[in-house]
Structure 1
Amino acid sequence: MRETTLPDTTARVPHAATQQSQLSNPTTPTDEGPKASVRNWLGLAVLMLVVLVVSIDNTVLSFALPEISRELHPSGTALLWIIDIYSLVLAGLLVTMGTLGDRIGRRKLLLIGAIGFGAVSVYAAFSTSAEHLIAARALLGLFGATLMPSTLALLRNLFLNDTERRLAIAIWAAGFSAGAALGPIVGGWMLEHYWWGSVFLINVPVIAVLLATGLFLLPESRDPNPGRLDWTSVFLSIAAMFTLVYGIKTLAAGGQAPAGVAFLVGGLALGYLFVRRQLRAENPMLDMHLFTNRVFSASIAANLMSVLAMAGMVYYLSQYLQLVLGYSPLNAGFYLLPGLFATIASGLFAVRLANRFPLRVLIPVGLGLSMLGFATATQLGAHSSVWLLVGAFFMVGLGVGLAETLTNDAILASVPPHKAGAASGISETAYEVGALLGTAILGSVLTAAYRNGLTVPEGVSGADSAAAHETLGGALDVAAGIGGSVGDQLTEAAKVAFSHGADLTSMAGAVILLGAVLITVISLRKSHA
């Protein structure tokens, strides 16, 4: 097949007056550029497959955690790593892989990544230990990083008309919420009929369709002058993120405060070196000057916090529904559907709201709704009504959909067009860092609160007590093995401890989002957004 390479439209700079207008009012629609063909819209459908695969992988595993705990017997820290390592590697490599796609071709990198993602999904499905599963998740993050940067860059080449491109970006963003909604339902059905590893095999048929259609419907594009790849910056970005998250986990584990603080300080130092290198480099891997734009910086912060809230809440509510309230994985997934559909609906409605209200109002309102959802979730208990949880997650979903859709649009519209490639890379990195921090921070708060709050009844051996303190799933297994009144007491104590931990985690989430509201209000108040 003869390859067609399209010019990189992200490098085009419009007339100065047009550019200034977009900077001052990033939500103002224009109608420049040729209309898209049917083939272009089919190409968007192919790119949506990529978004669905990556977003499904962010949520589907949460519902398999109870069964993974029973089958692989991971420690509490290992359980968090099973979740976090995917987003950690993905976020650390997004900018690097975006730069690589500029060189070898974005479609080519996407298809190579798809092959690797499908193969590693099979490896993950048949993992026999927590260590194997962590390694598989890390490789999924590696190949996932080759997929995401290419999608937005190719989308900009498929849609040259400004209005159509904004619609395509809105659909692209909604794909994340759709994938998050499909993950619990499809994953829950798989878990009720097959073993936990089946949740990874969901990726295989989707990847097969992507490979079969992407070769024909997606155009090739690359940057004719991408600059030199800076391997030192690659190392610093990955090392800084990994060290920071490891520090958070070490502190959450308890008893190793000096080591945790040392990792945090080391991570901040590596981050400082990375930023300094980018500011001095002739061809930086990440253009730090983009952050001097108030709208851009505030949108990045709001985007990160929105995803942090959603990922963190899904992490602990999926376990709460199954292990505390006793719902099956499928039923647990259905109870989260209203919140996930609220994310999609509010994201699509945000386009109409943006024509009537400024971003400096809408983005803080979205974050505020999510904050109220977390505040509502501070009232969970071992025997709470499931509808309290549904209502809390619904409010979080409304807020995330509103804030995330508008921030994605503002991020691209608030920078000059020739910076759009770098801006989209930062936007995607913020998304994955948010998913990472959601489980790392809120998950660590939950783990620490559960361990400190669990009171093991008399009659439980030291080894069983240690296992019960690791995870709620481990405590329920120990209680089932002991049986009798002691087992019942341990079951109740573990559920109470987890519920109390969920309350504290919700409180932490509300405080984080309150900070995000204040940051965006202050940052956007003097802008024209």
Structure 2
Amino acid sequence: MTNETIDPMGTAASAPPRAGARAWGALVVLMLPVLLVSIDITALNFALPAIATSLQPSATQQLWIIDAYSLVLAALLVAMGNLGDRIGRRKLLLIGATGFAAFSALAAFAPTAELLIAARAAIGFFGATLMPSTLALLRTIFLDRRQRRLAVAIWATAFSVGSAAGPVVGGVLLAHFHWGSIFLIAVPVLLPLLLLAPLLVDESRDPAPGPIDPIGIALSMLALGGLAAGIKELAAGGLDPIGIGLIVLAALAGWQFVRRMRRVAQPMLDVGLFRVPQFSGALLVNLLSVIALTGFLFFVTQHLQLVEGMAVLDAALVLVPGVLVMIASGLLVVRIVRSVDPGVVVVIALGSSLAAYGMLAVLGEQVTIVGIAVAFAMLGLGIGAAETISNDLILSAVPPAKAGAASALSETAYEFGAVLGTTLLGGLLTAVYRATLVVPAGSDGAMAQAARETLGGAVAATEGAGAAGERLLEAARTAFDHGVIATSISGAVLMLLAMLVAWRSLRGSGD
């Protein structure tokens, strides 16, 4: 049997070489930062009550503790993807892993909310070097399309599972250790990467990267960072001048960036890719899927602990079935798309995620712990399949030399999804909570003020406060569940939109 395929013109062409054992070992190594970064985002949700008790952040600071990492990371992803194409993706990966581990250790012992936010921003800087490097290296390691699809499926599954398993890991750690242990896990995870990557992962870069474009890099940072910060500001403070100004700045920077990329001879990002339906549609499905996942975890982790009153580890275990479903979905979809159109598969899978949000919206305050577990499994079924297929289609749409830039865009979609999941859905939850909270007559003023900030503040303030505290806490829990209903309706709308995008842009994108 010859190692040949037939190209569309009917002539024989050499088939791309198939990867061997060393390549699959490299995949295992490259999964480590994927797991870590995704765990880092969602494990923190479970740690928020403990951090709130220890550092006493305001409601805005709580959102910043989560979002500082994602905001910085999102602003730098395109620039770092381009840098990896130039200096070497493996080299950038090793630099990022070292910095990520060092600042994670500092965050673990932050004495104030302000210092924790600063450490999270530094972690985001180095995190921006990790994710584009891992996905771009897969594009150059696995040249055979079917092998690459399986490798990307495993990679995407690690990403989705890390996001879903983050609360479980967080629950186990918080049940036995200080909240800083959430950040310390970076050190043992990244040490094997630093030791094994030089042995198993070959260096790769763009063979003809062109000159460095500092103006283009600055414009990309202003556009992405300004957009993320502006959305967060508007979600937290309403239509204030700062938020509007940031959005306008981001729009102007983005416009200038696109103009520059069209004019320069060797652009750092080929904006023409966005005219390819497969590429732009896969990016949007990726974005909407992650918004749905992180938004769900943001409110469900708080509901289980602060409304249901579950211990952190018990609450984490409720999500385990969903994690297992997400693993199975991400891997099984690789076989399914060999015979079924990828776009159709994504639409059907996301229908399960739509049903999950719809179930929570309908059940409302009557939702049970079992109902939450089932809803998360339904959500995971759709997200696992959608993430695998969308990432594979993004990589397949570009030549290997531009894998870093394409990977950076894929990760930008993921990180913006993480920002929007906590900022928009979390901001909506907070707004509804505050609007519907009815403070019982006779409540202590300080307790009432704490309850108006967050449900976590209500729990902490009413502890040991007797009957008056119990009445205030019950009112706060009811208001929180009203916010969950509104957020669930919004999540269902997002999933419906993702299904429409997949139906219009991803059909016909199979082998």
TM-score normalised to structure 1 length: 0.90
**Stretch of structure 1 that moved more, 223-232 or 300-309:** 223-232
Note closer, same or farther for the CA distance 1:256–1:407 as it changes in structure 2 (3 Å cut): closer
Which one of the candidate residues 183, 188, 191 is aligned to 1:208? Answer: 191
Distance 2:291 2:310 in 1: 25
Does residue 180 in structure 1 map to residue 163 in structure 2? Answer: yes
- The residue number in structure 2 matching 1:9 is none
SS in 2 for 1:221: coil
Please list, as runs of the form range in 1=range in 2, the aligned pairs for 1:229-308 lying within 5 A after superposition. 229-254=212-237, 257-308=240-291
- The residue number in structure 2 matching 1:386 is 369
Give, in angstroms, the shift of residue 156 of structure 1. 3.0
Note closer, same or farther for the CA distance 1:198–1:299 as it changes in structure 2 (3 Å cut): same
Contact 1:59 1:183 in 2 (8 A): yes
**Stretch of structure 1 that moved more, 419-428 or 393-402:** 419-428
TM-score normalised to structure 2 length: 0.93
Distance 1:126 1:412 in 2: 39
Contact 1:382 1:495 in 2 (8 A): no
The residue type paired with residue 302 of structure 1 is V
Which one of the candidate residues 149, 166, 174 is aligned to 2:132? Answer: 149
- The residue number in structure 2 matching 1:6 is none
**Stretch of structure 1 that moved more, 256-265 or 90-99:** 256-265
Give, in angstroms, the shift of residue 62 of structure 1. 0.9
Does residue 314 in structure 1 map to residue 297 in structure 2? Answer: yes
Contact 1:92 1:237 in 2 (8 A): yes
**Total equivalences in the alignment:** 507
Give, in angstroms, the shift of residue 72 of structure 1. 1.1
- The residue number in structure 1 matching 2:114 is 131
**Stretch of structure 1 that moved more, 134-143 or 263-272:** 263-272
- The residue number in structure 1 matching 2:469 is 487
Q: What are the superposed Cα offsets for residues 198-220 of structure 1, whole Å, 9 maximum, x if unpaired?
A: 11111111111211222222222
- The residue number in structure 2 matching 1:427 is 410
Note closer, same or farther for the CA distance 1:131–1:504 as it changes in structure 2 (3 Å cut): same
Give, in angstroms, the shift of residue 513 of structure 1. 1.9
Contact 1:248 1:444 in 2 (8 A): no
**Stretch of structure 1 that moved more, 379-388 or 366-375:** 379-388
- The residue number in structure 2 matching 1:465 is 448
Distance 2:253 2:6 in 1: 38
Note closer, same or farther for the CA distance 1:209–1:20 as it changes in structure 2 (3 Å cut): farther
Note closer, same or farther for the CA distance 1:102–1:327 as it changes in structure 2 (3 Å cut): same
Which one of the candidate residues 23, 42, 66 is aligned to 1:59? Answer: 42
- The residue number in structure 1 matching 2:486 is 504
- The residue number in structure 1 matching 2:352 is 369
The residue type paired with residue 322 of structure 1 is Q
Contact 2:85 2:401 in 1 (8 A): no
- The residue number in structure 2 matching 1:92 is 75
Give, in angstroms, the shift of residue 527 of structure 1. 6.9
Contact 2:108 2:182 in 1 (8 A): yes
The residue type paired with residue 490 of structure 1 is L
Q: CA RMSD in A?
A: 2.5
Does residue 40 in structure 1 map to residue 41 in structure 2? Answer: no
SS in 2 for 1:228: coil
Give, in angstroms, the shift of residue 290 of structure 1. 0.4
Q: What are the superposed Cα offsets for residues 1-48 of structure 1, whole Å, 9 maximum, x if unpaired?
A: xxxxxxxxxxxxx99946999xxxxxxxx9933333322222211111
The residue type paired with residue 280 of structure 1 is R
- The residue number in structure 2 matching 1:118 is 101
Give, in angstroms, the shift of residue 327 of structure 1. 1.2
Contact 2:364 2:481 in 1 (8 A): yes
